[in-house]
Chain A
Amino acid sequence: MIEIIDLHKSFGSKPVLRGVNLSVEQGESMVIIGGSGSGKSVLMKHIIGIIQPDKGNVLIDDVDIGTLKEKELYEARKKFGMLFQSGALFDSLNVWENVGFALIRQKKMPEQEVRKLAIEKLRMVGLVGVEDLMPSELSGGMKKRVGLARAIAHEPSVLLYDEPTTGLDPIMADAINDLIVQMKGHLAVTSVTITHDMHSAFKIADRIAMLFEGRIIEVGHPEDIKNTANPIVRQFITGSAVGPIKIEGVNHERVFNRA
């Protein structure tokens, strides 16, 4: 279980998180929605301990990840798998070395075994015959799939998805959504996804939380979110430029109040 308690984080004088509270149950698929620059990625990096909070706590199975020593933190991270927005594949390694990276580093099995396992994980995400290619030879959708195969290779109990459908065409995006749903079914993992793609959010979420101005302003099941009375959430899920959420740098009077 993941519990985020009163999390604060600022970069320089700019506050990004201003008291985030959220809990994710075991086996649940939590989707965090919010606009660009709302701090979703920062929140996710707190969950895995890449960023340390200024104030507040992140508890993973009741262990405060912020209090762990370096070695314990790396050990705790073995519970996680993370799919990055761009895939973040290692350029200097081929596909199977990317997928089996954590296992090669752990040196618990010979490299040939890791290769076999990587091919199996690649097959799980629908990729066949790509294991010896370099990341530069893959399309955007394939990179995401390889990234997902890498995230699940060491069989984590928590999967984190950072904007999994961003930059993909609608068909590929839907295929990635299906994969995320499949992963939850097959692997019984807890997952946290950050996205601003509402189609994706409604498809993969057990619950949806909205991050706005550094706080979680609403949490609920997809149906509750669809029928919310909160004008901010409504504006976001309907994708309207007019409403309480102002676009940074845009003169709303001039742009949206045309007679």
Chain B
Amino acid sequence: MCLALPACVIERLDGEELLIDLGGVRKRVSGALTPEAQVGDYVIVHVGHAIGVIDPEEAAQTLALFAELSAAEQAAAMEQSQ
């Protein structure tokens, strides 16, 4: 029900609408809830509305955290390097 997908904003249209591209599919959605969305931004689309804008820097940081070592592994790595 809360299904929503990230899609790229191609164009800001009249009447608070956005033209978005989702994996090659183009669609008009409402941009009324994301007045800050710019062309090139990725917005999260839910039931025909962009409900939020993705922060690309935060996304990159989260991906970097996934690869982070556990506390125990970090300690082991520290010992090895000393």
* A and B form one complex: no
Q: Which residues of A contact B (CB under 8 A)?
A: none
